[in-house]
Structure 1
Amino acid sequence: MRIGNNPAKENSNLKIESYHRVVIPVYIPNLTEDYFKDGLKILVLCLESLLLTIHSKTRVTLINNNCCSEVVDYLQKIYQSNDLVDQLLHSKINLGKINAIYAAVKSNLEPLISISDADVMFLPNWQKEVEKIINVFPEAGMVSPVPTSLGYRSKYMFNTIYYALTKGKLKFSDVEDSDALVNFQKSIGREKMYNKQHLSKYLTISKDETNAVIGCGHFVATFRAEVFKKSPNEVCKLKIVGGSESDYFDIPNDKANLLRLATTSNYAYHLGNTIEQWMIEKLDRIKESNFTNSPLKSLSDVKYVKKHGYFIGKMLHKVLFNKAKKVYFSYKGMKADY
């Protein structure tokens, strides 16, 4: 039996004060296996650095994806003690990375959604610089605070290639932090990922005196919510990798006729699964800096690359970045082994 009227019906319109959400799935099933033994320590570095570097118009979603009790207790503590962490979702089974993320992505209203692995250290100004690129390039749908020289190689950025070539702003620019590239390849166990050329130059586009690196990875990236309107309707059958990130992040961004970019400076570190002293020292320096971050006064409306950009960009990518790569890169002033 129902008595009376639900007061929520009197004002049923949804209204939010935030415009940027950060979603972090956490899968640390134990702290005993070698792979996971430092998992909680790495997670602490991740979340503390995040909360020290975001602005007041940000909200955080944490996802307990079948974690052990020690990790669950820590997540609960963070949720209870920090108002910016307004969602803590629990699952007693491992939903897989993509399904866990989409459980949050599809149920939130913020126009910007950052998705991050739980082993990322956020540096001061990461959010400011990412949001700046999104405002300057309103066609940007996916922007990472971690640049990579190899971003141009991805086959899921045809609109980005089309935009870069037709706007006439594509060029090789000096890498601003080569040590960050070296640290990244070390953190994923690929010591020879970058050659000397990659450590000195990356491909960029520019607009209004703002540069952005073309292409990016997806261990940490900020998306416009419009990207997820092009996502697959079915659930992901894979727990991790196997092309799942491409299917649910990279391809939807390209199919949405949006750009895939990165900041020119490095504003986050991939930590891996083993804690090192420099990580602790870096977090201490962030704490000591008393960093403050201000939200945007206004967020630009999304703009789309022309509908034919995907198909023309696909052709240009195949010709200029594969078959005629040596000739084209030489024309751009870069050696053939780039």
Structure 2
Amino acid sequence: MRIGDNPEKHSNQLEIDSYHRVVIPVYIPNLTEDYFRDGLKILKLCLGTLLHTINPKTRISIIDNGCCDEVINYLKEQFAAHKAIDQLLHSKINLGKVNALYSAIKSNLEPIISITDADVMFLPGWQEGVEGVLNDFPEAGMVSPVPTSRGYASIYTYSTAYYGLFKGKLAFSDVADPDGMIKFQESIGRQMYEPIHLEKYLTVANKRSKAVIGCGHFVATFRAEVFEHAPTENCHVKIVGGSENNYLDIPNDKGGFLRLSTLKNYAYHLGNSEEDWMLKKYDEVLAHPKNEHILASLSKPHPISKRGYFVGKVMHKLLFSKFKRSFFKLKGMKQPY
């Protein structure tokens, strides 16, 4: 039997005291297998640097995606200790990366949403960097703090290609932080870049700013509007298999949004093995003053039209693939890229 009247009925408008949310799915099922042995150590580096580098108007959602007891206990401790971590969601089974992400993405109201793997080390300035690109490019929907000189080649940058060719200015620029890209390819255990890729990357500029074309999605920041273009059904793949393309990359591109990266490198992908340099860098991050910079306002989204997307698709295939050598030479790249 219900007695009385629910007081929430008389003040039923949702209000939030944040504008940026970070979502982290965590899957560390044990600490005994070689692949997961350092998982908790890496997670501590990730969460420690994230907490130190976000501003007071940022909140964190952590999804325990079938973790072992040691990891669950650590997450509970962090949830109790930090105001910024306002959501800790538990699942006894692995829901898959995308479903775990969307459990938080679809239930929160912040206009800016960052997603990150649990093996990312955040560096001071990352939040100002990605928010700055979103603000300076109203057409941008997806921005990573980790630039990649191969991002232009993605088939999910058709809207970005259109903007760069017809509205912005495309050019090759000097790589601001080649060490970041070197550490990334080391973290994934394979060579991704040739020497020229560590010297130059393809950038797009407007009257306000410049950014790198393309980005990965192990850590990326989105306008919330991007997810309005996502599939409505659940994802039936745990990881890879096109899942991130379908639920992250394609909604951004088909929604008419640019896919960009910051010029500087503001985060490291750590992989699954702790190394001495990571501990040194962790101490450097925590020695840096905490982030107190709050974005005053965010530019209203201004996506590319559907026509622009299809024009960009054609131009991307022609200029970034079939006639890439000639087009890049026109843009100042004299050697194979």
TM over 0.5: yes
Superposed, 1:55-204 pairs within 5 Å as: 55-190=55-190, 192-204=191-203
Identify the residue that residue 20 of structure 1 maps to in structure 2. Answer: 20
State whether structure 2 residue 280 is matched by structure 1 residue 293.
Answer: no
Note if contact 1:139-1:258 (Cα within 8 Å) is conserved in structure 2.
yes
Whether the 8 Å contact between 1:142 and 1:253 is mirrored in structure 2 is yes
Give 1:207's aligned amino acid: N
Rounded to whole Å, the distance in 2 between the matches of 1:136 and 1:165 is 18
Give the aligned residue type for 2:76.
Q
Partners of 2:177 and 2:140 in 1: CA distance: 23
User: Contact between 1:125 and 1:293, CA under 8 Å: does it hold in 2?
Assistant: no
Q: What is the CA–CA distance in structure 1 between the aligned matches of 2:48 and 2:250, rounded to whole Å?
A: 31
Q: Deviations over 1:232-263 (max 9, x none)?
A: 11111111111111110000001111110000
Identity of aligned residues (%): 62
Q: CA deviation at 1:299?
A: 1.4
Quick one: which amino acid aligns to residue 333 of structure 2?
M
Do the aligned partners of 1:60 and 1:86 also contact (CA within 8 Å) in 2? yes
Q: Which residue of 1 aligns with 2:262?
A: 263
Aligned equivalents of 1:40 and 1:295: distance in 2? 30
Matched with 1:328 is: 327
Give the letter aligned to residue 42 of structure 1.
I
State the partner residue of 1:218: 217
**What residue in structure 2 maps to residue 311 of structure 1?**
310
SS at match of 1:51: helix
8 Å CA contact retained: 1:120, 1:269: yes
User: Which AA in structure 2 matches 1:68?
Assistant: C
The range that moved more, 287-296 or 31-40, is 287-296
* CA distance in structure 2 between the aligned counterparts of 1:161 and 1:290, rounded to whole angstroms: 38
1:168 positional shift: 4.4
How far 1:337 sits from its partner (Å)? 2.0
8 Å contact 2:168–2:205 — kept in the other structure? no
Superposed displacement of residue 332, structure 1: 1.1
> Are residue 272 (structure 1) and residue 271 (structure 2) matched?
yes
Q: What TM-score, normalized by structure 2, do the two folds share?
A: 0.98
Aligned partners of 2:216 and 2:289: how far apart in 1?
A: 29
Shift of 1:305: 1.3
In the alignment, residue 32 of structure 1 is paired with which amino acid?
T
Matched residues in 2 for 1:207 and 1:159: separation? 15
* Shift in Å, 1:303: 1.1
Matched letter for residue 176 of structure 1: A
Which SS does the other structure have where 2:298 is aligned?
coil
**Which stretches of structure 1, 4 residues or more, deviate above 4 A after TM superposition?**
none
Q: Are the equivalent residues in 1 in contact too, given 2:26–2:64 (CA < 8 A)?
A: yes
1:107 to partner: Cα distance: 0.4
CA contact (8 A) 1:123 1:268 kept: yes
SS at match of 1:35: helix
Tell me how far 1:208 sits from its aligned partner.
3.2
Between the aligned partners of 1:168 and 1:93, the Cα distance in structure 2 is 46
RMSD value, Cα? 0.9
Once the two structures are TM-superposed, the CA of residue 306 in structure 1 deviates from its matched residue by: 2.4
Deviation string, structure 1 residues 151-204 (Cα, Å, up to 9, x no partner): 0010011000000000241000000111111110010011x2100111100010
SS in 2 for 1:300: coil
Structure 1: how far apart are the matches of 2:45 and 2:296?
Answer: 30
SS at match of 1:245: helix
What does the per-residue CA deviation read over 1:212-251, in whole Å, with 9 as the maximum and x for residues that have no partner? 0010000000001111111111111111111111110000
How far 1:209 sits from its partner (Å)? Answer: 4.6
Report which stretch shifted further, 199-208 or 19-28.
Answer: 199-208
Conservation of the 8 A alpha-carbon contact between 2:28 and 2:36: yes
Q: 1:168 to 1:253 in 2, by over 3 A?
A: closer
Q: Which residue of 2 aligns with 1:253?
A: 252
Structure 1: gaps (5+ residues):
none
Corresponding letter in the other structure for 1:258:
F
- Which amino acid in structure 1 is aligned with residue 261 of structure 2? A
Q: Distance in 1 between matches of 2:255 and 2:12?
A: 30
